[in-house]
Amino acid sequence: MLSAFWNTLKVKEIRVRLLFTALIIVLVRFASNIPCPGVNSSALLEYTTKLREHAGSGGIIDMLDLFSGGALENFALGALGIMPYITASIILQLLMPVLPSLEKIAREGESGRQKINQYTRYLTIVVCLIQGVTVAMAMVNPSRLGLPAPSGALFVGNQQLFVAMTVVVLTCTTMIFMWLGEQITDRGIGNGVSLIITINIIARLPAAVFQLVEMTLNQDSGSGDFRVVHLLLLLIVFVAVTAATIMLSQGYRRIPIQMVRKAVGSKLTGGATHMPLKVNFAGVMPIIFAGALMVIPEWVCRYFNLTTLAAAFQYMGTGYMITYGLLVFAFTYFWVGTQFKPVQIADNLKKEGAYIPGISPGNPTADYLDTTMTRITFGGAVFLVALALFPMFLYGSFKIPFMVAQFFGGTSLLIMVGVVLDTMTQLESHLTMRHYDGFLKSGRLKGRN
């Protein structure tokens, strides 16, 4: 594997792509550490410390801060990060089965894809404006969102001017991040948008490691009797969970496909092949959906002073974890049901003269694919629920710091594993095209798609 990394530096095109990607990552991280104009940095630092001590809200704030790479904690230019673009993309994906006109556009090939991308950009601006106003108003008056009141003003200057300027700055930064992500995809290595999210998550890793070391060395911190042996055990658990996540991301079932042999020129095409059905077809989407949905009830209850109901939805509570797990399970099937189209696949196979041995073409093939995918999805859904709840289990039962626990499962680990596999797959394809060995001497890496 080390020789493969060394080979990437020998090829000029790959070297340029890697350097281009690294420069954009530096720009993104730079923007994630510059505070927005008018922010009172000292008061904000004091307030974020107070938020983590506030019951029920610290976990949510830390989770949002994780995906922004610490930008939200500093209320930096990149406080919204690239997540509004992801949100807009998810909304359009969910609207396609509902709106036939969108689905028709998506089937128009390259021109349709460009139109969908343009709609995604427009929707991203709308999401940025909504989220920008929300976080700006939270800086002005946090109690509106059910958060504790700060001891001093978190901003300086005129309130209306601060809100307007913050919304514009955050929206522009997100749109620039989106454009930079597209540049990485076209001229760099890997999927740019996913890579930006991954880098933001990894940027919090040093702080998480520092917390672990500090907890190991400082036995008087109230973290319990956490010694070096516990740190080693935690490292073993991390390796095991990461390996299981990779197996989930790479796992699929092969459906045998028999294609009619055809003579194309001097070549004979067709024969036996297979169709891979992924175990984790939904990817990280169910966890994102469930997490976003579980944020709403607590904040709404706190806004209307419904303390008893808010306690039931408090982060890390038993009711929260049960509801969260059920939502992840349900959203896994929901995403597969909206995105996996067995009827369309069966029609395409029939048009190409292909069939599944022992299954009649047409509706029987669609029913077979639907039944098979439903059974496969059950295993993937159960694993996703376990992966989503495991960080909460570590945080609640073993008092592992929240930032550390987030690297042991959930959205963070799934995104990191998926993006790293995709990036390595692209690097391996570039190397094999130039007659170099890939990262694995036997077998090939498989991307998420």
Give the tokens for residue 252.
Answer: 């699929």
Kindly give the confidence (pLDDT) of every residue in the chain, 449 residues in length, as a single tens digit, with 9 standing for 90 and above.
Answer: 566 667 777 778 888 888 999 999 999 999 888 889 988 888 888 887 776 655 444 455 666 677 778 887 888 998 888 888 888 888 888 788 788 888 888 878 788 888 988 999 999 999 999 989 988 888 888 776 666 777 778 888 888 899 999 999 999 999 999 999 999 989 988 888 888 888 888 888 888 888 888 877 775 544 556 778 878 888 898 899 899 888 888 888 999 998 876 655 666 566 678 889 999 888 888 887 887 777 777 667 766 777 677 666 777 777 788 888 999 999 999 889 888 889 989 998 888 888 888 888 889 999 999 999 999 999 999 999 999 888 888 887 777 877 788 888 777 888 888 888 888 888 887 777 766 555 555 555 555 54
DSSP string of 94-147, one letter each residue? HHTTT-HHHHHHHTSTHHHHHHHHHHHHHHHHHHHHHHHHHHHHHHH-GGGGTP
**Pairing relationship of beta strands 252-264 and 267-278 according to DSSP bridges:** antiparallel
Could you state, in order of their start, the residue ranges of all structural domains in the chain?
A: 1-203, 214-408
Nearest to 51 by CA among 64, 39, 40, 38: 64
Give the tokens for residue 169.
Answer: 């700055």
Q: DSSP letter at 399?
A: -
The span from the CA of 313 to the CA of 193, in Å, is 32
The span from the CA of 13 to the CA of 19, in Å, is 10
256, containing H or E segment:
strand 252-264
- Distance from CA of residue 121 to its chain's centroid? 18
Superfamily of 1-203 according to CATH: SecY subunit domain (1.10.3370.10)
The span from the CA of 215 to the CA of 224, in Å, is 9
The span from the CA of 213 to the CA of 208, in Å, is 9
Look at residue 183 in the predicted model and tell me its pLDDT. Answer: 92
Task: Let me know: does 402 contact 59? Beta carbons within 8 Å.
Answer: yes
In this structure, how many other beta carbons lie within 10 angstroms of the beta carbon of residue 79?
A: 29
Fold agreement between 1-203 and 214-408: yes
The pTM of the whole model exceeds 0.85? no
State the Cα torsion 345-350-353-358 to the nearest 10°.
90
* Three-state DSSP class for residue 422: helix
Task: Let me know: does 203 contact 76? Beta carbons within 8 Å.
Answer: no
Q: DSSP letter at 180?
A: H
Sign of CA dihedral 79, 82, 86, 89: positive
Give the tokens for residue 323.
Answer: 């509801």
- The highest-level CATH class for domain 214-408 is mainly alpha
Cβ burial of 222 (10 Å; 0-12, 13-18, 19+) is exposed
Look at residue 263 in the predicted model and tell me its pLDDT. Answer: 58
DSSP alpha helices (H): ranges in 40-109? 41-53, 58-67, 71-74, 83-95, 100-106
| Secondary structure tally for the chain: helices H, strands E | 19, 3
Give the tokens for residue 395.
Answer: 């945080």
Amino acid letter, residue 245: T
